[in-house]
Structure 1
Amino acid sequence: MNTEYFAELSRLLVARGMPDQEAAATVADLTGYLTESGKPDAREEFGPPEAFADRLTRDHDGERPEAGAETWKWTSDIYTDRLLLNRYGAEGWEVEGLDFVGRFVCRRTPGAAMRWEYRRESAHGAKQREELTAGLEPDGWEPCGRWLHMTYFKRPLAASTGPAADLAATPPPPARHLFFSTKFRGLVAVFAVSVVVFALALGFDVVDAIDLHRPAVYLAVLGAAAGGVLFGWYGVRRDIANGVESR
């Protein structure tokens, strides 16, 4: 049933003007999400394919995108997001929001595009977000997406640079959709090693040279694995708070 649902959804997305490649990527993301979430029925999770296709192909004001508009969805880690947002904002890409898998949903209309600039702020809870937004609005910033406790803001670059923000021509849309820094990949590797060590500590006899059934060794390995995970999470939270960037 899910295969038929996604096949119909893909057909409807293309019929509503979504490029074939984007429609295929969208359906693949939705399929992966459904599998990871453990939800058995796509129709129950997303609703009728016709209505869902309408939602996926409408912008935030409920209107169809203007003719000729380009769309691009991409994701990155916390060490590259602001660098990339401002790099591609300078090419005319406007972020309209973040989707349910954390991708920046961007749109650009060649011939009518303007440069954008972005910033990321941390806020915990609705009250902090409201206060943060109210403080930034006088300078032309408006929220354009939220992920966990991070809120992203955008404004036309003309607000800070004036005529220098004019965009005479737009380069082709980027071919990439995933941007992960060296530091992020290193953290993922450390986390993966910690998980493997944790599994060994629970009794999987993968390394015969270590007697994990001795209490002292067991506790030491278990503590090292848990400590690695906690240290990594603490480091990420600290980097978010300090605004650490990497390439």
Structure 2
Amino acid sequence: MMTANDTYFDRLGAALRAGGMPEAEVTTTVADLTAYVTDGAAPDGDGADPAEEFGAPEEFAARLTGSAPVEEPSGGAETWKWTTDVYNDRRLLNQYGDQGWEVERLDRLGRYVCRRDSSAALRWEYRRELANNAQQRAARTAELAPDAWEPCGHWAFYMYFKRPKAASTGPAAELDALAPVPGERVIFGKRLGRMLLILGLSLLALAVLFVCGYGNFVAEHPWVLAVMAAAGLAGGLAGWRGVKQDVAKNLTD
């Protein structure tokens, strides 16, 4: 006999497919969420209600697949789009969240798309989590949902959650006065600045070598170019892995 939970997860699976999630990820995600609900079963043997845990299946699927519609800002709403590095993101998100900025999503360039309703602004708080795929994003969403955290975007191997600060501070989350819309669009810290400086100097040194005739040597010895390409690829992968480890360690500037 089909239960209410079976019906919920059937609808969730259909909505995930409609949102573009691959079938293998749909199967894994639904199985993980089903197990999550079962693990939280009450002593009388009745499982937890997934609708209470995650909300309506279609809305939950839209959040997991990033296909949730973006509400058009009201006449009194301000918008702002900006970006920063992973060493400063949480500090700045919470700083601007205290000014009433709500992150609606991350765009394809990893920029935070924010809005603030000047007529009813609230303080927001944010957190960042590691998630390598849709399955892990679904698991983290389910784990944090009971504390009112909801996903507001993901990019690469990390994702962001938001919640009104009223969830932790009560009436203090209300804003009486609004700070001006920040003028910054790109905010990078010292750590990323040093990385970019090293990269720039390396490229400059390579350019100088070619100008001084090293290009002719490479043309005569193709294996040198292959070694340089391999070294560049290895360096890029090492840099990617290093940033991911920094994110896991929650390093900041």
Do both proteins adopt the same fold according to a TM-score greater than 0.5, normalized to the shorter chain? yes
Which residue pairs with 1:232 in the alignment?
Answer: 239
* Distance in 2 (alpha carbons) for counterparts of 1:197 and 1:134: 49
Q: CA contact under 8 A between 1:111 and 1:169: conserved in structure 2? A: no
Structure 2 partner of 1:90: 98
Q: Does the alignment pair 1:64 with 2:72?
A: yes
Which string of whole-angstrom CA distances, capped at 9 and with x for unpartnered residues, describes residues 80-103 of structure 1?
A: 111110000000000000112221
What residue number does 1:152 align with? 160
- What letter corresponds to residue 155 of structure 1 in structure 2? R
The change in CA–CA distance for 1:103 and 1:226 in structure 2 (over 3 A counts) is closer
Deviations 1:166-221 (A, max 9, x none): 21111111111110111111111222334455667xxx633469x96698xx59x9
Two-structure CA RMSD over aligned residues (Å)? 3.0
Q: Secondary structure at the match of 1:146?
A: strand
Q: What's the offset of the Cα at 1:241? A: 1.4
1:176 pairs with 2:184: yes
Structure 1 partner of 2:172: 164
Deviation at 1:235, TM superposition (A): 2.1
| Code of the aligned partner of 1:206 | V
- Structure 2: gaps of 5 or more residues: 1-67
SS at match of 1:235: helix
Partner of 2:130: 122
C-alpha distance in 2 between matches for 1:193 and 1:232: 16
Percent of pairs with identical residues: 49
Match of 1:205 in 2: 210
**1:241 aligned residue:** 248
Equivalent positions of 1:24-35 (< 5 A) are none
Q: 1:101 aligns with which of 109, 112, 123?
A: 109
Deviation at 1:226, TM superposition (A): 5.7
Query: Is there any run of 5+ residues in structure 1 with no aligned partner, and where?
Result: 1-59
SS in 2 for 1:206: helix
CA gap 1:190/1:226 in 2 versus in 1, 3 angstroms: farther
Structure 2 SS opposite 1:74: strand
1:112 and 2:125 aligned: no
Q: Spell out the pairing of 1:207-226 with structure 2 (5 A cutoff).
A: 207=212, 222=228
Query: How far apart, CA to CA, are the structure 1 residues paired with 2:205 and 2:232?
Result: 6
Alpha-carbon distance in 1 for matches of 2:70, 2:106: 16
Q: How many residues align?
A: 183
Distance in 2 between residues matched to 1:193 and 1:230, nearest whole Å = 19
Per-residue CA deviation, residues 83-138 of structure 1 (Å, 9 max, x unaligned), is 11000000000000011222111111113000000011111111111011000000
Q: Distance in 2 between matches of 1:230 and 1:193?
A: 19
Kept in 2: contact 1:80–1:181 (CA 8 A): yes
Report the CA distance between 1:67 and its aligned residue: 1.3
